[in-house]
């Protein structure tokens, strides 16, 4: 929780800028990322009433380990009074690193174990949501479908390259929070 507060504190100047721009928005939110809870912060610069692009960062987890997605976000909005429905696309880097053990048998039939790291590579996401604004402040909810790609190191055992299983999970992200 301390890490989330630190992240929000570090990004407060970025979020404050959104109050000065007519079509720009700052978002602070809680999220359900697959089976994990987390939070994030995002700033979208509004090019006009209908199109915005920005940057975001989140703290969440995957398989019980810390994950910090950082991403670019593109939103197409359709403001109608106080309600602002939107569709969005995301592309970013998945900051994730976990060490695993890989058991194998060497050329002399001796059991061996090596360690390797599964690290984040990139991710993409598409989603939709809506904001309810009273002036420049309001609340929002959104759903984003994300696809992650992880990378593995190359490893050679008994003169042959060991290939690790491909890991490209897709997850659902449900977010809700404040918009300003």
pLDDT value, residue 15 = 54
pLDDT at 165 over 80: no
Domains defined for the chain, CATH in brackets: 2-15+25-179 (2.40.160.20)
Given a contact cutoff of 8 angstroms between Cβ atoms, the answer to whether 180 and 25 are in contact is yes
pLDDT value, residue 141 = 99
In this prediction, residue 75 has a pLDDT band, given cuts at 50, 70 and 90, of: very high
Q: Which range, 6-15, 25-34, 103-112, 157-166, is most confident?
A: 25-34
**Quick one: which of 69, 67, 68, 71 has its CA closest to 55?**
71
Global pTM reads 0.80
Q: Tell me: the pLDDT tens digits for 4-15?
A: 666 666 666 655
Q: Tell me: the pLDDT tens digits for 99-123?
A: 988 888 877 888 988 888 888 999 9
């Amino acid at each position: 929780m301390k890490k989330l507060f630190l992240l929000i504190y570090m990004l407060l100047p970025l979020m404050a800028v959104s109050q000065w721009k007519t079509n720009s928005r700052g978002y602070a939110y809680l999220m359900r990322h697959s089976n994990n809870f987390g939070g994030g912060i995002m700033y979208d610069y509004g090019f006009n009433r209908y199109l915005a692009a920005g940057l975001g960062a989140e703290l969440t987890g995957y398989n019980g380990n810390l994950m910090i997605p950082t991403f670019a976000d593109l939103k197409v909005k359709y403001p109608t009074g106080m309600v602002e429905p939107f569709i969005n696309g995301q592309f970013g880097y998945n900051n994730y690193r976990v060490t695993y053990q890989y058991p194998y048998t060497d050329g002399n039939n001796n059991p061996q174990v090596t360690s390797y790291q599964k690290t984040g590579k990139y991710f993409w996401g598409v989603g939709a949501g809506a904001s309810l604004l009273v002036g420049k402040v309001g609340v929002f909810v959104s759903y984003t479908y994300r696809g992650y790609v992880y990378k593995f190191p190359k490893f050679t055992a008994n003169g042959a390259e060991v290939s690790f299983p491909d890991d490209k999970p897709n997850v659902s992200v449900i977010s809700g929070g404040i918009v300003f």
